[in-house]
Amino acid sequence: MLKDITIGQFFPADSLVHRLDPRFKIIMTLLFIIMLFAGQSMICLATGAAYTVMAILLSKIKFRMFVKSIKPIMPFLLVTAFLNILFVNDGTVYFHWKFLKITSEGINVSVIMIIRIVILIAGSSLLTYTTSPISLTDAVERLLSPLKKLKFPVHELAMMMSIALRFIPTLIEETDKIISAQKARGAEFDTGSIMNRARNLVSILIPLFISAFRRADELATAMECRCYCGGEGRTRLRQLKSAPRDYIALAVTISFLVCAVIINILT
């Protein structure tokens, strides 16, 4: 059940997208998001879609994984789209009942919104699917390093991020174990009355909190034992180096973005 969560997961493979410099990947993801919001028209979104499909094909990650990442937000999307249809009132009116109107513009807005968000999620999951959490936080640290001059704790932030990411799977696994253990003692989580289920939830939350604190404590001790004292003067094992392919990929992304903007101006 919990194993189905794919957000933030990393699928190691040997592909062009995997090999790209994580700093460039983060920048490209940002450009990609701008690309999607650059225009309102369908053609404009088509550029974004084409870009995503290209990147997915290059990443050698199965298409199914992307479908999986979109699935959990689908209900929210559909509800929002439904509200949009009902309450956007411009354009030709197809149906009218009291204050509710279904109009061409309403349908248009909802469809564009759904497509945009689906592409957005599929495209940005590609970042975490193809980048290991460690290189991701390394890249964040490097990209934010100019903020150090403003006394912004960039290293600490990156460290917190990598610890948080590192512990997502651990805590999921832990939760799974605790759920199984309580189920073995007859606790019900998906059947029974709401009051009962809520009470049984406590039997998961308390052990989970206790173990999270225990782990945090152990980790802090372990880090201190290895003389960790923050980012000052810390060197790294793997230096991020950009290669020609990174610049090419960036150039391709920028040209897609320019295309999207031009299409938007023209239409």
Partner 1 sequence: MAVLKTEELTYIYSQGTPFEKTAVDHVNLEINEGEMIGIIGHTGSGKSTLIQHFNGLLKPTSGKIFLDGQDIWADKNKIREVRFKVGLVFQYPEYQIFEETVYKDIAFGCKNMGLDDNEIKRSVTETAHDIGLPEELLDRSPFELSGGQKRRVAIAGVMAMNPRVLILDEPAAGLDPSGRDRIFDCIKSYHKKTKNTILIVSHSMEDIATFADRILVMNQAGIFCFDETEKVFSRAEEITQIGLDVPQITRVFLELKKRGIDFGKEVYTVDYARELILKHLRERQVL
d(CA 43, CA 29): 20
211 binds partner 1 (CB under 8 A): yes
207 binds partner 1 (CB under 8 A): yes
Give the one residue of 5, 11, 111, 120 binding partner 1; rule: CB under 8 A: 11
Closer to partner 1 at the Cβ: 47 or 182? 182
Helix (DSSP H) and strand (DSSP E) numbers for the chain: 10, 2
The pair of three-digit structure tokens given for residue 79, joined into one six-digit string = 């509800």
Closer to partner 1 at the Cβ: 90 or 176? 176
- The footprint of partner 1 on residues 24-63 (CB under 8 A) is 62
Closer to partner 1 at the Cβ: 11 or 167? 11
The alpha carbon of 27 is separated from its chain's Cα centroid by a whole number of angstroms, namely 14
Q: Check if the beta carbon of residue 76 is closer than 8 Å to that of residue 57.
A: no
186 binds partner 1 (CB under 8 A): yes
Pairing of strands 93-97, 100-103: antiparallel
Question: From the CB of 53, what's the least distance to partner 1, in Å?
Answer: 20
Give the one residue of 65, 70, 143, 212 binding partner 1; rule: CB under 8 A: 65
* CA-to-CA separations, 141 to 22, 51, 236, in angstroms, rounded: 11, 27, 12
The pair of three-digit structure tokens given for residue 28, joined into one six-digit string = 């490209």
Amino acid (1-letter code) at residue 17: V
Give the one residue of 188, 217, 218, 224 binding partner 1; rule: CB under 8 A: 188
Q: Which residues contact 163 (CB under 8 A, 6 or more apart)?
A: 219
126-165 footprint of partner 1 as x/- string (CB under 8 A):
----------------------------------------
Give the one residue of 93, 206, 216, 223 binding partner 1; rule: CB under 8 A: 206
Using the structure block, give the residue that is written with the tokens 């994580």.
22
Judged by the rule CB under 8 A, the positions of this chain that interact with partner 1 are: 3, 11, 13, 62, 64-65, 177-178, 180-188, 191, 202-203, 206-207, 210-211
